[in-house]
Structure 1
Amino acid sequence: MSIAEAVGAWFLQNRRDLPWRREGFGAWGILVSEIMLQQTPVVRVIPRLEQWLERWPTPADLAASPPGDAVRAWERLGYPRRALNLHAAATVIAERHGNVVPSDVGDLLTLPGIGDYTARAVASFAYGMRHPVVDTNVRRVLARAVAGRGEAGPPSTRRDLAAMEAVLPIDPAAAQLTNAAVMELGAVVCTARAPRCDACPLVDSCAWRAAGYPPYEGPKAAAQKRFEGSDRQVRGLIMAELRGSDIPVTALEIEQLWPDAAQRDRALAGLIADGLVVAGDDGFELP
């Protein structure tokens, strides 16, 4: 049995019931979910996704609202630049694509904030098109099961897509199933720190297991910087203050959020440069 067959059969019996996998969940919802899921756990995304789609059921609905509304509705999902990108993408979809999320990867890549992974994920999961879809979980499964390595190492778009392409069935429906199945396997079974090999459908064919689980000795991906005390934390404090206010936040109020003036000013300047904060005569507010 091939990797695609084994993982696909396992997925059909064990997949989680997630909103974007349900019948009738459209391309717009899948696009929103994919952007929200970037570096954010599923459990935090689901309630925000449901609220978002209830308020803005189509791209045109979101495009008709000010960008600041999108940032405010993003709440604490993190990396609020994604909210601005999503608003900008919705505007392009509404104006240039007849309010329909495009199915072509090339067209999807022209949307603001849409990278290679998201474009391929939408084309595959929303439209059933045959494209390899690769995220961190997929890279880990392929590294272990196929290459016999405990970790995937630093990402490489060309190499990673080729590795997934090699296990992807020719049939588009089977390819879509395989993309979802391998991703799910990496998320819930073949996890980074505590893989549950006894529950894995690839237990008898995994190259890493067959080699005796050798430690990974290759190059490692860059570790994420510590959050506490970082500019990211300060940016988050400023954004939370602005989201919670219906009027401009004064410079004095901003000063009280963080004691290190240089770091606070740097974080605020970065938010302004990113278009997440607008400076006016009365203070600072969302765009």
Structure 2
Amino acid sequence: MNCPHKLEGDTVHQEIRQWFRETARDLPWRGGCTPWGILVSEIMLQQTPVVRVRPVWEQWMARWPTPGAFAAESQGEVLRAWGRLGYPRRALRLHAAATQLVQRHDGAVPDTFDELLALPGVGSYTAAAVAAFAFGRRETVVDTNIRRVHARLVIGQALPSPALTAAEMALAAELLPEDPAESVEWNAGVMELGALVCTARSPKCGLCPVIDQCAWIAAGQPEPTYLPKGQPWAGTDRQVRGAVMAVLRAAESPVHADLLWGPAVEAAAAAAHTDHPDDVAAALQKLHELNTHALQLQRALAGLVTDGLAQLSGDGYHLPH
């Protein structure tokens, strides 16, 4: 595949890599971090911003510095520690991956794309990112930020296509430097450029190290051909599921179904008989403030059980053991 916009390849590579060395954020999973720490960060950063991930990641690394330590923990405690990062099934998949690392890889994170891809919850992006950033492999890493930089810098479009295409992957592979060390820094640099400068809304083009070669700038910064649609939250099943999970995380013993269904005042009084009553009462109040209808709450509870995020024992719901 030929780049639609002719770049001065060596110059672009050098300028973005130099910019990255000078301005990159000091993130704990960069520079000297273990492969396990990098794997955990990549899972946590899926659809979750750095500012929310960082404190949780630091707590996890202090508590579970190795795959073996993490695999030995209960699923319930893992979900409790996941907190409000969202999409908690990621925590269960990470726990399954750690178990597989112990069983098949002597407790170590493998260093090849194919072995990483075989781990539960690890897709092609995550496998490539861990192989590159943890082991210095020459891999084509393509996330949302990289796609946006490529779309503007090379294609001249305001935004990449709504879904990742084969053409985008081919372009990313063509742009990747041949030298493994340079390719790793290039991947990290383009990703950082997209996160800090070439943002989806209000890009800071004046700070871009390669503005003079940007096809989007040269084309007069045309408007996007579509408007990105953010995922709705208020009133959705996801919001209700999150509120229920907050209750279960706060309680260390099963939460009677009546607490989840009953009026807020009665629920708060009943919560006094649970572990950590103040935390449980606060979580229950937030759940009840949603004023969800019965069918939606029932659907949310059933979905949590089906997904392995909650269990029903007798009349009480609790995190999995």
* Shorter-chain TM-score tier: over 0.9
Does the CA-based 8 Å contact 1:153-1:220 persist in structure 2? no
SS of residue matched to 1:39: coil
User: Hey, what does 1:174 align to over in structure 2?
Assistant: 182
- Of 213, 228, 238, 2:244 maps to 238
| 1:74-223 equivalences in 2 (<5 Å) | 74-156=82-164, 158-217=166-225, 223=229
SS of residue matched to 1:276: coil
**Deviation by residue 1:136-185 (Cα, 9 ceiling, x = unmatched):** 00000000000000010222253332121111100000000000000000
Aligned mates of 2:97, 2:192 — CA distance in 1: 27
Does the CA-based 8 Å contact 1:137-1:186 persist in structure 2? yes
Aligned mates of 1:39, 1:214 — CA distance in 2: 27
Aligned mates of 1:254, 1:133 — CA distance in 2: 43
User: Hey, what does 1:284 align to over in structure 2?
Assistant: 317
Letter in 1 for 2:293: D
Q: CA deviation at 1:4?
A: 1.8
Letter in 2 for 1:85: R
User: Hey, what does 1:64 align to over in structure 2?
Assistant: 72
Q: Alpha carbons of 1:151 and 1:20: their partners in 2 closer, same or farther (altered >3 Å)?
A: same
Q: CA deviation at 1:116?
A: 0.8
Q: Alpha carbons of 1:220 and 1:132: their partners in 2 closer, same or farther (altered >3 Å)?
A: farther
SS of residue matched to 1:146: helix
Does the CA-based 8 Å contact 1:35-1:118 persist in structure 2? yes
Question: If the length of structure 1 is used for normalisation, what is the TM-score?
Answer: 0.96
Q: CA deviation at 1:224?
A: 3.3
- Of 252, 258, 265, 2:298 maps to 265
Question: If the length of structure 2 is used for normalisation, what is the TM-score?
Answer: 0.86
**Deviation by residue 1:220-251 (Cα, 9 ceiling, x = unmatched):** 66x23310111010000100000000100111
Match status 1:15 vs 2:47:
no
User: Hey, what does 1:229 align to over in structure 2?
Assistant: 235
Aligned mates of 1:36, 1:104 — CA distance in 2: 21
Aligned mates of 1:157, 1:116 — CA distance in 2: 14
Bigger radius of gyration, 1 or 2? 2
User: Hey, what does 1:5 align to over in structure 2?
Assistant: 14
Aligned mates of 2:231, 2:37 — CA distance in 1: 31
Gaps of 5+ in 1: none
Aligned mates of 2:214, 2:57 — CA distance in 1: 35
Does the CA-based 8 Å contact 1:3-1:167 persist in structure 2? no
**Deviation by residue 1:96-133 (Cα, 9 ceiling, x = unmatched):** 00101011111111111111111100000000000010
- Of 33, 37, 42, 1:29 maps to 37
SS of residue matched to 1:204: helix
SS of residue matched to 2:132: helix
- Of 24, 38, 63, 2:46 maps to 38
Gaps of 5+ in 2: 1-9, 263-286
The alignment of Structure 1 onto Structure 2 pairs a total of residues equal to: 284
**Deviation by residue 1:10-39 (Cα, 9 ceiling, x = unmatched):** 1111111101112x2110000000111111
Aligned mates of 2:11, 2:183 — CA distance in 1: 13
Aligned mates of 2:166, 2:307 — CA distance in 1: 29
Aligned mates of 2:107, 2:168 — CA distance in 1: 32
Moved over 4 A (4+): none
**Deviation by residue 1:180-235 (Cα, 9 ceiling, x = unmatched):** 00000000000011111110011100000001111222x666x2331011101000
Aligned mates of 2:227, 2:126 — CA distance in 1: 24
RMSD value, Cα: 1.2
SS of residue matched to 1:279: strand
SS of residue matched to 2:155: coil
